[in-house]
Structure 1
Amino acid sequence: MNGSTHSAENPLRVAVLISGGGTTLRNLIEKIAADQLWIKITMVVSSTAKAKGLQYATDADIPSTVVDWSTYDSTESFSTAVFDACRAAQADLIVMGGFLKHVLIPDDFENRVINIHPSLVPSFCGAGFYGAKVHQAALDYGVKVSGCTVHLVDNHYDHGPVVAQQSIPVLPDDDAAALAARVFEVECELYPHVLQAFAAGRVTIDGRKITMR
C-alpha cells in the first residue's frame, strides 16, 4: 500500500467485512455519496446471513456475499474463503466494520487489512473485548479518557500496528451506552479520514511505525 495514489476518478477498491448491524458500512457509504472518500466498495462480506448490515449493501447496489463462519471447521478454512471473496472483488484494501470473527491474514494481504476498535489500544482490547464490554471495562477501571483506534490487522486480536487514534473524555455520568455512542461519533470521522489517507497515498508503513501525512 505504501505510495499507492488514487483519486475520485480512480478510487481505492475496498472490501468491507461485517458481522452485524453494519453501522460502519453505512457511514462509509454516506461519505462516498458525499464525495468525501476516494474509495469504491466492491464487495461486502458477512460472517452470517443474519447480519442486518447486508441490507445497506443491497440498498447501495454493492455486491455482497455470506461466508458463514459456522459452516467451516477451522479458522484457516474460514479465512481462506473470506480472502478468496476479497480477491475476486479485486480489493486493494480490506476494511473491517464490526467484523467479530478471527481471521488469519494471508501474505498477499499483509498491511492491507484495517480495523477500528472502540478504545485506545492497547487498553481494553483483545479477545472478548467488543461492543458494550469494551466501554464497561473502561468505566469499571475508572479511566478519564477513552476513544477509538484504527489499526492494521495481523493474526492476533487488536494487535496490529496503530494507524491513528482519537480520544474523548469519559464523563462522570457516563454509562456504557452513553460512552459507546460518543465513541462511535468519533469513529465515524476517524475511519473515513484514515481511509482517505490510504487512498491518497499519504500512509507510510515501516514495521510497527506508521506515518499518516
Structure 2
Amino acid sequence: MTDAVAQSRGRAVGRSGGLIGIGVLVSGGGTNLQAILDACARGEIPGRVVVVASTTAKAYALVRARQAGVPAVVLAPWSFPDRQTYDARLAEVLQAHDVDLICLAGFLRILTAAFVDRFRGRIMNIHPALLPAFGGVGMYGPHVHETVLASGAKISGCTVHFVDETPDGGPIILQAAVPVQDDDSVESLAARIAEQEHHLYPEAIRLFAGGRLQMNGKRVRITRDAAELVPS
C-alpha cells in the first residue's frame, strides 16, 4: 500500500506513476461504483477496482462488482460486536487486496477515528450536496435533497472530499453546482445531481492517481502535475 508523501508546502496525497488499487465501500445500488468501473475500463483512471465491500448482501452494487469480475465481500455490521472490530476487519480486507485508495460510494456507516487515522489522505467520499452546507450525521439519500428543497436554496450539487473524523467534514477536493429548478422534486433534483456525481468522482480519483492533490489542513490544492509537489 502506497504511503502519502510529506512535503514542506503541505502533504501530497496519492501517487504518481503506475496503476492504483481502488477499494470501494457500498451499501446500495452502486451507481457511483459503476461510474468508477467504467472510467477505469476506458483508461480515464490509471487504476482498477480491486475489491468491493458491502454492509449488506442485498446491495445491487455487489452484482455490478461480479459483472466486472471484481472480488466482493459482505461485512454485515450486526455480525460484529462493535464498530472497532468491524473497522479492523474492513482494514484487513482492504490491505489484503493492496488498496491504495478507499472510495465510499453510498456507504452507510461512519468510520471510526482509528480507521480514518490509519488511512488518512487515502479515503474519499462523495456527497450529494454542496458541503459544508447540507451535510453531517443523518444527511444521506433523499433526505439531503428534501432538506435542500425545503431550505429554498437556488443551487445544490455534489462534493468529493477526503474523509476525516467529522461526518462530511473532511477537506473538499472537487465540487459541481446544480441549479435548483422551481418545479424540482426530490427525484428530479437527485437525478441531475447523480449525473454530475458520475463525472466528478472519477475525476477526483484520477487526480489522486496522478499525485496531483496536496492537502494542507482543510484545504486541498490541485497541482498541474506531480512535479509541482517537489520543492526546488
Shorter-chain TM-score bucket reads over 0.9
Q: Is 1:181 aligned with 2:176?
A: no
Correspondence for 1:206: 216
1:136 match = 146
Instruction: Confirm or deny that 1:61 pairs with 2:69.
Output: yes
AA partner of residue 40 (structure 1): R
Q: Distance in 2 between matches of 1:155 and 1:123?
A: 17
Which residue identity lines up with residue 54 of structure 1 in the other structure?
Answer: L
RMSD: 1.2
Cα deviation, residue 106, structure 1: 4.4
Indicate which of 76, 84, 90 corresponds to 1:82. Answer: 90
Gaps spanning 5+ residues in structure 1: where?
Answer: none
Deviation at 1:190, TM superposition (A): 0.7
Maintained 8 Å contact 2:27/2:106: yes
User: 1:132·1:176 contact (CA, 8 Å) conserved in 2?
Assistant: yes
Please, which of 74, 82, 103 is the counterpart of residue 111 of structure 2?
103
Does 2:45 align with 1:31? no
Corresponding residue to 2:99 among 88, 91, 98: 91
Pairing partner for 1:44 from 29, 52, 68: 52
Structure 2 residue corresponding to 1:172, chosen from 182, 197, 201: 182
8 A contact 1:6–1:38 mirrored in 2: no
Q: Is 2:30 aligned against 1:22?
A: yes
Q: Following TM superposition, by how much is the alpha carbon of 1:107 offset from its aligned partner in structure 2, in angstroms?
A: 3.0
1:161 Cα offset (Å): 1.1
Q: Check 1:67–1:175 CA distance in 2 against 1; reply closer, same or farther (3 A cut).
A: same
Separation (CA, whole Å) in 2 of partners of 1:146 and 1:186? 11
| Bigger shift: residues 62-71 or 106-115 | 106-115
Count of aligned residue pairs for this structure pair? 211
Q: 1:127 aligns with which of 137, 141, 146?
A: 137
Q: Work out the percentage of aligned pairs sharing the same amino acid.
A: 36
State TM-score, norm by structure 1.
0.95
Corresponding position of 2:9 = none
What is the Cα deviation at residue 155 of structure 1? 2.2
Report if the CA contact (8 A) 1:49-1:66 is conserved: yes
Q: Please tell me whether the aligned partners of residues 14 and 122 of structure 2 are also in contact (alpha carbons under 8 angstroms).
A: no
**Corresponding residue number in structure 1 for 2:230:** none
Q: Which amino acid aligns with 1:124?
A: F
Q: Is the 8 A contact 1:6 1:12 kept in 2?
A: no
Contact 2:129 2:135 in 1 (8 A): yes
